[in-house]
Amino acid sequence: MGKASVVEAVGLSKQFGHFIALHPLDLQLGSGEFLSIFGPNGAGKTTLLKVLATLMKPSSGQVRILGLDPSEDGIAVRRQISLVSHSTFLYENLTAYENLLFYGRMYEVENLPKRIAEVFEEVGLTSRQRDLVGSFSDGMQRRLSIARAFLHRPRLLLLDEPYVGLDPEAAHNLGKVLAGLHDGERSLIMTTHNISRGLELCDRAAILVGGRLVYDEVRSAISADDFEATYLAAQHQARAVRPPRRFDGGGP
């Protein structure tokens, strides 16, 4: 990769009581890279993103994000990253503009009104910015949540299953926005179980099943058909040894 590491995880694992959500794994992400992580539900994708987003502490291993240790410089890390999850993080009692104003101020974005205008333009919501978010359709809310996520120009954008629950048109629009965000400067990690969507955008694809990172390859070396077979095989193999995904027991 040659470029500065944006994510550098060594032996990262996460355990909930007796349940192992993530087995120790290594992950590197270079600046400007777009990594798609594929995996079925319960594979540990969300857990991995939450650890990278500083929302969870890993049970073991080292994580450095943009050269910083999230457990020590959590605030500095959070200033430069962003997470798009299934939830939009938007206040329905506030207008679209007020939502971005709030988050922009929390992130201390400079020249905020201008930046907000820019961002609205990018996601095509300029005409609706004075409307309450509660009145937005799901697709519009999703677009606004992405606008919220890159408002502060994060160097690392984490996307957790952004395609779930989107109709084809909204999914198409999302694809366009994501392609625009993949500008060679910003790094992105997207989890999904949608193979075509995931492969379409990424530079690198990884497979996570049963909390194990079983595959990691640059996009140019992957043929879509082979990949699908690999993914299904990995999923099948994992099912044989994978513990069920119920949580229990004490411990963090």
Partner 1 sequence: MSKLIVLLKKDFTAELRSKDIVLTMLLFVLLVIVTFSFAFEPGSIEVGVLAPGMLWISFVFAGVLGLLRSFVNEQQNDCLLGLMLCPVDRGVVYLGKALGNIIFMLAVEAVTLPVFALLLNFDIWRFLPAIAVIFSLCTVGYAAVGTLFSAMAITMRSRELMLPLLQFPISVPLIIAAVKATGGILAGQTLAEVSGWLKLVGAFDVIFLTVSFLIFEYAIAE
Partner 2 sequence: MQVHERLNDRWVTVLGIAVFITMLLTLYGVFLYAPTDRNLGHVQRIFYFHVPSAWIAFLAFGIVFVASILYLVLKEAWADRLAHASAEVGVIFCTLVLLTGPIWGRPVWGVWWTWDPSLTATLVLWLIYVAYLMLRSQMPEGPSQARLAAILGIIGALDLPIIHIAVHWWRTLHPKPVVMQTKGFGGGLEPPMLQTFLVALLTFTILYVYLTVLRYRHESDKAELASVKRRLQA
> Which residues of the shown chain bind partner 1 in the complex (CB under 8 A)?
50, 53-56, 75-76, 78-79, 82-83, 85, 87-94, 98, 102-103, 105-108, 132, 141, 148, 252
What's the per-residue H, E or C state across 157-168? Answer: EEEECCCCCCCH
Q: Are 157 and 181 a contacting pair, CB within 8 Å? A: yes
And the tokens for 41? 């539900």
Q: Pick from 17, 113, 134, 165: which binds partner 2 (CB under 8 A)?
A: 17
What are the respective helix, strand and coil percentages of the chain, to the nearest 5? Answer: 40, 25, 35
Nearest Cα to 65, choosing from 123, 4, 136?
Answer: 4
Q: How many chain residues touch partner 2 (CB under 8 A)?
A: 15
* Smallest separation, CB 250 to partner 2 (Å): 3
Q: Interacting stretch for partner 2, rule CB under 8 A, among 12-20, 40-48, 110-118, 133-141?
A: 12-20
Of 168 and 252, the one with the shorter C-beta distance to partner 2 is 252
Which two tokens mark 29? 């992400």
* Interface with partner 2 in residues 65-104 (CB under 8 A): none
Select the binding partner of residue 212 from partner 2, partner 1, none (C-beta < 5 to 8 A, by kind).
none
Distance CA 145, CA 82 (A): 11
Binding partner 2 (rule: CB under 8 A), the pick from 3, 18, 86, 236 is: 18
252 is a contact residue toward partner 2 (CB under 8 A)? yes
With beta carbons less than 8 A apart as the criterion, state whether 22 and 213 touch: no
Residue found by looking up tokens 């502060």 in the block: 152
Q: Interface residues with partner 2 (CB under 8 A)?
A: 16-19, 241-244, 246-252
